Chains A and B, each alone.
Chain A
């Protein structure tokens, strides 16, 4: 392995040489087909942000339809064109918006945008490596992600519209163009895009795993890894275990759709005709889908938790409380996440005994989650909290993680799930616990590592406004949503006006939509801050947050290999903040232990 050879060389005789500049870099190799992990991280971030803008705009559009059903909006005419004839959103395109919103946010923003950005940026920098194990595969991974994003966006423009079967694309709805127009070319493109996305994700994940295992600098034992790296590492493992299953699910669906097989389809009579399918089962698809789908929740969430662990410790000027328990929780969550998928299927018609098993494993996963939440709170206790925007988003994450996680106790219990399954209660639950929490993790990461990426600071006051308005709006949207779910309102309804039973929920829906619109608009504050700070932000010192991890020991300049001289060696864990016996309230990992200094954390 070439990177390993390179690495070995670093320890040998490469002193003070910037070996990344053997050949002249062109614009193309520097900014486009770059193999440098820092540039690839930025590419992921920018692509993810653009997808995020699309995804959030879609959510605002369909929220407007729910609050003011069948009203005509000029803004629909402008952005949605023939999806909204005369400015009135049509029923099947409402479902297309919901579907693509889910797909984009889950996969393109919170998987690739979050994990892709920060795994790429931080793994080599925090473990003390020159780059990823394979820079080339890393580049391929990004470009596959880019292609899949383009295909997903293009699928919005094809005849029949984009995929409209929900982001879970359950067949037969997703398999039969007769059932909904979006299941024609739109769904084909969805599947192609996701297949490419999975390839991208696998290449990325394998790279992360190999890098963490092989390229740690001298002294960086697994128990000295920052929690960010633990989170990224374990996330990559879950991805490698579960994404291939989604790929096979998608392939079989492609076969059913295009080559007449019957993996998921049986006994179908639609539009006056019997179809030939015989013997398949949609429940099989649900199993395969959720075998990825549930771990996917943690693929989204764990990196966010890793990022906040790091940021909360740094800004509390305190060691993270219970480092080993945090690592154990990450591992426990990762393991359990692969055996709980059935809680999405309690009432799918699968054997009820399986329901019991999945209830059991699901409620077990609450335990490591609770440990994490308590450890975060204890880390704040008696700290010296530096309330930077990144810290606020991290605290916000703990708050939404608790609020959203607690309702999981209801949904994970098969008995209670019967009546709230597929209602807005579920929508509220998973948006808080994985959507908002992971987004907060992503924002926290961006505010915290922006100086590391661009050498400039983001404006803190804009950051504060961004946080407080977002925090209020997120609760404003999703807290009341639990209650309309408990009133029995099903999700994915184009309008609720067909049921007088739900008439008294119309005002709540208006409130929710208002909060969503305000929250959405205020993301412009973030975008402005992000892009303007990139060029006009205040120049950042090398270690603005007085942090311990290795990425702050490397200069911020475009350089392949990260450190101009030797790679720093590691002598301690990442959390020696406010350690007695030191003058500063932080001791970077590359500072040798003083004579007689104890490792206090074991």
Chain B
């Protein structure tokens, strides 16, 4: 609160100072021309400021990269398709920053170089078909390349099929939490509909059809565990509003739509333990933990409970506005070896047994 108030007061003071400055600026110019149209002096000052602004753009770019540019979601993906997504991302980013650097330089440099001067006459230069053709065709070719690469990757990612013996998992969204349902031995999810939901003594929270034989071996869990190296076919369902199943580390996202089942398939390539060892994550975790330690000290001084140190875990987040607690709709995702996974799933109670 105090920081907020202080900042506010400082800002108001700055505003007043600048207001006073312009008054002085105005007064000093009172004798000179007062047409309120830019004169040579204005052109000069603002021309130099244009170059200053170009520098500002470059500096803020460099600072952003330096301070926040570990780009946690480029490289270091934990899924098979993630690597090709990351490659395309890197290509696009390099291209973007190249074009950005050059065009901003031209724009601001021209604004500086050709700042107005009394008596100078501009060049009457209305068009040039060759030039315009060149800068139409260059974007055409570059974009064609990007489009092709993008489309191939997209089609590969979105081709959800049952090849390669995947496991089938339902992600079930509700305000404001996630449930997972494993298809069990038969690898087929039992039929379900929200009309069958029963929250009574013998609960049926996901609305499974009790008569359906495929439903009997389904397993409903509060956390998502996946075996490493095995393809997973996710089927998403929502019981109330739109949600979006977002697992950034796997480069995966799909909306959960009430009344419809949506799909996404991916193959995790790193276990949680392996991911924790990667240099990027090690760095990130240590940075976060030093922030948390500092905050804990502050809290301790106020006599409040300290924060727990952070340990990396894969996450499933909701990424489509879904109501009041949208900001805290998450589920832990654990990727482990096939053996560990088998052990874990065997220990879970199946839907049929619960009856």
Contacts and interface: CB of A to CB of B under 8 A. Distances in A.
Nearest to B47: A387
Interface string A71-92: 1111100000000000100011
A484 interface: yes
Contacts of B106: 377
Contacts of A214: none
28 contacts: A73-B5, A266-B260, A267-B193, A267-B239, A268-B258, A269-B194, A280-B259, A282-B242, A317-B122, A323-B126, A349-B260, A364-B143, A377-B103, A380-B114, A381-B110, A383-B114, A387-B50, A387-B115, A402-B104, A409-B92, A413-B92, A419-B253, A479-B61, A487-B72, A498-B328, A498-B330, A505-B68, A578-B124
A318 B288 contact: no
B322 interface: yes
Interface in B20-71: 22, 25-26, 29, 34-38, 42-43, 45-47, 49-50, 53, 56-57, 60-61, 64-65, 67-69, 71
Contacts of B199: 272
B254 A347 contact: yes
A575 B47 CA distance: 24
Contact of B68 (A87, A356, A480, A580): A480
Nearest to A362: B147
B35 A367 contact: no
A460 interface: yes
Chain A interface size, as a band, is: 35 or more
B197 to A, nearest CB: 5
B140 interface: yes
Contacts of B241: 171-173, 176, 179, 270
Given A387-B115, A577-B122, A172 B253 contact: no
A144 B316 CA distance: 45
A166 B71 CA distance: 28
A410 B91 CA distance: 10
Contact of A64 (B4, B99, B146): B4
Interface of A: 64, 68, 71-75, 87, 91-92, 95, 165-166, 170-173, 176, 179-180, 265-270, 272, 274, 279-283, 316-325, 347-349, 352, 355-356, 359-360, 363-364, 366-367, 370-371, 373-378, 380-388, 391-392, 395, 398-399, 402-403, 406-407, 409-410, 413-416, 418-419, 421-423, 457-462, 464-465, 468-469, 471-472, 475-476, 479-480, 482-484, 486-488, 490, 492-496, 498-501, 503-506, 508, 514, 517-518, 521-522, 524-525, 537-538, 540, 544-545, 575, 577-580, 585, 600-601
A382 B122 contact: yes
A416 B124 contact: no
Interface in B312-338: 312, 315, 317-328, 330
Interface stretch (B151-159, B162-170, B268-276, B341-349): B151-159
Contact of B327 (A91, A266, A320, A472): A91
Given A349-B262, A384-B114, A386-B116, A495 B139 contact: no
A595 B36 CA distance: 36
Nearest to A580: B124
Interface in B84-117: 84-85, 88-89, 92-93, 95-96, 99-100, 103-104, 106-108, 110-111, 114-117
A25 B160 CA distance: 70
A269 B239 contact: yes
B83 interface: no
Contacts of B25: 461
B213 interface: no
Given A279-B259, A387-B43, A418-B85, A180 B319 contact: no
B323 A170 contact: no
Contacts of B64: 479-480, 482-483
B72 to A, nearest CB: 5
B300 interface: no
Contact of B323 (A180, A359, A479, A578): A180
A601 B239 contact: no
B7 interface: yes
Contacts of B207: 269
B262 A377 contact: no
B121 interface: yes
Given A267-B259, A377-B106, A386 B158 contact: no
Nearest to B249: A488
